[in-house]
Chain A
Amino acid sequence: MEQEPKICTNILKIIHARSESGQLVRVEEILAELKEQGFLESEDVEQKAHLETTLKQVLKENRDLKAISGKNGIPYYYSAQSLSETYAGILVRKSENPLWLIAEVVRENSQLYPRPVPVDSFLEPPFGLTREEIAECLTTMREQREYQDIARTITSVGTPFLYSTQHLDPDHAFTLAEWLDVGQVNNP
């Protein structure tokens, strides 16, 4: 295959371009683009398999390229030059299940920093959920066992925050939420 190096470059380009525009890319999408570029003549299974091997090769050779998979195991690709793991994680979860997205973001924040997360922050990019979606998620969460650790606290000015009881005590979560919402502004 004398096209080999060209294909490698193009795969790299596709992933980089996607990442630069703040998106992940799946194998099918890469293949579809390659097809458009004329590298893939038919739906020939063998050729497709070959391309997948090439993709693996490209991933190995370019240390900035990363794979991340969602709950269903499908890998997404991105370049760490323009997307962080954190951001990629948000995008994967968002594409699969907003419920899971909210829960994981809340858990990560509660454990790592630690801090609770303002509910309204899910309205903004990259989450971009609607108020209705968020409300629905929160109602559903209350009923599902795997989300029982996700709790809510409300600051003195009425701003709701979420936290995970796995990582934060209710009292601590309240103080932290108050600190983020009111305390820092009143103690500039």
Chain B
Amino acid sequence: MAKYGGWAGKVLRVDLSTGRMSTDDTVEQYKDYLGGTGIGYKVIWDEVQAGTKPFDPENKIVFGVGPLAGTGAPCNGRTAITTLWPTCWPRPLVASGHMGGHFAAELKYAGYDAIIIEGKADHPVWLSVMDGRTEIKDARQLWGQGIRRSTIEINQQMGPEATVAAIGQAGENLVPMSVVMNSYSHSAGGVGGVMGSKNLKAIGVRGTGSVRIAGNKEEWEKAIKLHLSLLGANNQNVVPNSPQPWAEHYNAGSRWMASAGRRWGASDPNIDTGACEPHNLNRIAYRTNNAAFFLGDKAWQYTVRGNGCTACPIRCHTMLKVPAVAAKYGIPEVGQNTCVGLLFGKAFFKTFPDGPRGQTAIEACMVGMHLADDLGIWENYGQLQRDFQALYYNGIFGRKVAEKEFKSYSWDKYEEGDPTFLFELLPKIANKQGELATALGLGTGYLLERWGIPEQEWLENHELLYWKFGHPKHHSNEDAGQCGVIINTQYNRDAQCHSHSNFTRNGLPLEVQKRLAVELWGAPDAVDGVADFTPMNVYKAKMAKWSLLRKELHDCLSLCNWMGPWVASPLRERDYRGEDSIESLLYSLATGDRKSRQELDQVAERIFLLHRALTIRDMGTKEMRTKHDTIPHWVFADPKDRAAFSKGTIRMDRDDIKLAMDMYYEEMAWDKQTGSPTRETYRRLGLETVADELAKRGLLT
């Protein structure tokens, strides 16, 4: 028997140029990097030269999962896909996309912790991974087809249980703003074109094996039940959306939507979501309804049920059945997705005839999901749609696009909020038809460059929520003041970190949050009330570091950072405490490699540090503070010109943010001047060879 549980034990390597396939031993080669993005960064560091472009055959794609994927640990469904990022502007750098669904688990059951894709096939292919048997198959008959049809055809070959991660026409056409998608609605953005550049249409995975739990099975069962008991609704919102008999607290902003009278109206017969008392673990799946959260009460009547990833009881992908769309738009009645994926179609429009929460908005969502999730277009966390609105309403399309092309779009329909407009726009983006659609498909940074628009304009516009490098902010100062700002400076795409926002949005009274903050980060001052921020302090820096490390840890273990960490809970008898050690508990039991919370956080820090080193290497500068960790101007402005720290504003203060970065670098033991990690830090975290390599290039402080 293998020494460790949790890991499947092997990493699959496929060179599409030569057709060569091989395997690496996961534990031997990658245990110090856990899995997921850890394996991804390691492979890119070791094997992909600085200066490689995303669509070069020399770029690699790493589909990585972790030791908890495929187990019963709640929320373990996410696959991390690491590669050089095609929308990262002006210079592509390493980044990762994350898809839920059933791919991660199926990959483990097939015997693999990761798949590394190398090279480029000379004709379209797809990869069939059936337990230990991998084959490169001809995909010429699939090329040109959408994700749905491709998936079904592959399932017809591999059997109904296989999970297929496929790209659509967007990925085939090397549109940078494209996704890979599995299990109908679970996508990872940015990766589609990279797969397309390798002529890789899809990966089908089917596994009949198992993931061994190394620890005692009774203890594992207890740990799972503990974890389940701490869950809230989606985003770890731990209080219900409206007063419930059992609840001390409630919050109209909570995704815990269940309540007596709110029904899954399109289930046959329909189902009342009810009170969902938190100790009743057989009701967790009714708590969340993201369609109702995002689209308003009308969505209840169309709700079939919740859907989501393997082993996750939250079900954030709400399945909707809207009969009217079949006749009106000729699309299926049933659709599903979550958050920005759900809002894909709606978000293009400024207004709808019946308002933002009416029927038309829902129909726009249905049309958007139907098109985008088949063509495989990425929305870059809503930046595509925000850009679109700004470019249209500021007259930029009119100026940059030839008149004939511009006039070929039904702008009257667009302005009216008519969802049929999406049938004109989205296929053109996927097929690179015309200047307007082609530019949109590049991503913000390259679009601005192509059209000669200074990035500055985007950096100053608060409404665009643009941050840097072609990507938007993702839970920044609006959610967590300086802590959010720090987090948003650290990645090469939007930060995708929810550790902090899942805490600040949990719905508990500020007083309770502060009490929990004392235990977690050392002082109540780590957290502020929304739009009532206080000057920087070291506890906020500690919270930022913790948030980043947990995000990276989740991406390596295969836990969902859209749910975790679980440091607050809905349980009054615990004073709403969660469990800061749940990750290490699950990791230790699953693998048999006992690690304390601190030890596991240190592994996460190593992985995060490797991401930093990769960024430094590929940027060719150690001046990270000024060249990488940048902050858009809108963070320091306020529409009503209120001063920073006054009530009602999320405006930050420049000097205070300087201090914030100082404190953060200090917490990370990085050089304050440059924002680059020191040799000592690399050494402490077991990355001395990485430091050597950087030193050779003159990139070590």
A–B: direct contact at CB < 8 Å: yes
Q: Tell yes or no: B395 within 8 A of A by CB.
A: no
Question: Residues of A contacting B509 with CB < 8 Å?
Answer: 112-113
Question: Residues of A contacting B340 with CB < 8 Å?
Answer: 188
Interface size class on chain A is: 35 or more
Of A86, A187, A188, the residue contacting B243 (CB under 8 A) is: A86
Stretch of B23-31, B214-222, B528-536 contacting A (4+ beta carbons < 8 Å): B528-536
- Mark interface residues in A118-143 (1 if CB within 8 Å of B CB, else 0): 10010011110000000000000000
Question: Residues of B contacting A180 with CB < 8 Å?
Answer: 252-253
Instruction: Please give the distance in Å from B499's CB to the nearest CB on chain A.
Output: 16
Question: Residues of B contacting A125 with CB < 8 Å?
Answer: 242-243, 259-261
Q: Tell yes or no: B140 within 8 A of A by CB.
A: no
Question: Residues of B contacting A118 with CB < 8 Å?
Answer: 252
- Mark interface residues in A49-89 (1 if CB within 8 Å of B CB, else 0): 00000000000000000000000000000000011111100
In whole angstroms, what is the CA distance A87 to B260 when docked? 14
Q: Quick check: B246 and A84 within 8 Å, CB to CB? A: yes
Q: Tell yes or no: B236 within 8 A of A by CB.
A: no
In whole angstroms, what is the CA distance A173 to B248 when docked? 22
- Mark interface residues in A2-17 (1 if CB within 8 Å of B CB, else 0): 0000000000000000
Question: Residues of B contacting A22 with CB < 8 Å?
Answer: 245
Instruction: Please give the distance in Å from B399's CB to the nearest CB on chain A.
Output: 27
In whole angstroms, what is the CA distance A173 to B647 when docked? 9
Instruction: Please give the distance in Å from A117's CB to the nearest CB on chain B.
Output: 7
Which residue of chain B lies nearest to A78 when distances are taken between CB atoms in the complex?
A: B245
Question: Residues of B contacting A126 with CB < 8 Å?
Answer: 243, 245
Question: Residues of A contacting B252 with CB < 8 Å?
Answer: 115, 117-118, 121, 180
**With A125-B259, A169-B648, A180-B252 as given contacts, are A187 and B475 in contact (CB-CB < 8 Å)?**
yes
- Mark interface residues in B287-311 (1 if CB within 8 Å of A CB, else 0): 0000001100000000000000000
Q: Quick check: B647 and A169 within 8 Å, CB to CB? A: yes
Question: Residues of A contacting B253 with CB < 8 Å?
Answer: 115, 179-180, 184
**With A84-B246, A125-B259, A180-B253 as given contacts, are A187 and B649 in contact (CB-CB < 8 Å)?**
no
Question: Residues of A contacting B259 with CB < 8 Å?
Answer: 124-125
In whole angstroms, what is the CA distance A71 to B565 when docked? 43
- Mark interface residues in B354-374 (1 if CB within 8 Å of A CB, else 0): 011000000000000000000
Which residue of chain B lies nearest to A118 when distances are taken between CB atoms in the complex?
A: B252
Q: Tell yes or no: B511 within 8 A of A by CB.
A: yes
In whole angstroms, what is the CA distance A117 to B294 when docked? 18
Q: Tell yes or no: B479 within 8 A of A by CB.
A: yes
Question: Residues of A contacting B507 with CB < 8 Å?
Answer: 113
Question: Residues of A contacting B242 with CB < 8 Å?
Answer: 121, 124-125
Other than A125-B259, A157-B355, give 13 A-B pairs with Cβ distance below 8 A: A84-B246, A84-B247, A86-B247, A86-B248, A87-B243, A90-B243, A112-B511, A124-B242, A169-B647, A171-B646, A174-B648, A180-B252, A184-B253
Q: Top 10 A-B pairs ranked by shortest CB distance?
A: A171-B648, A172-B647, A188-B339, A172-B648, A175-B531, A180-B253, A175-B648, A112-B509, A22-B245, A84-B248
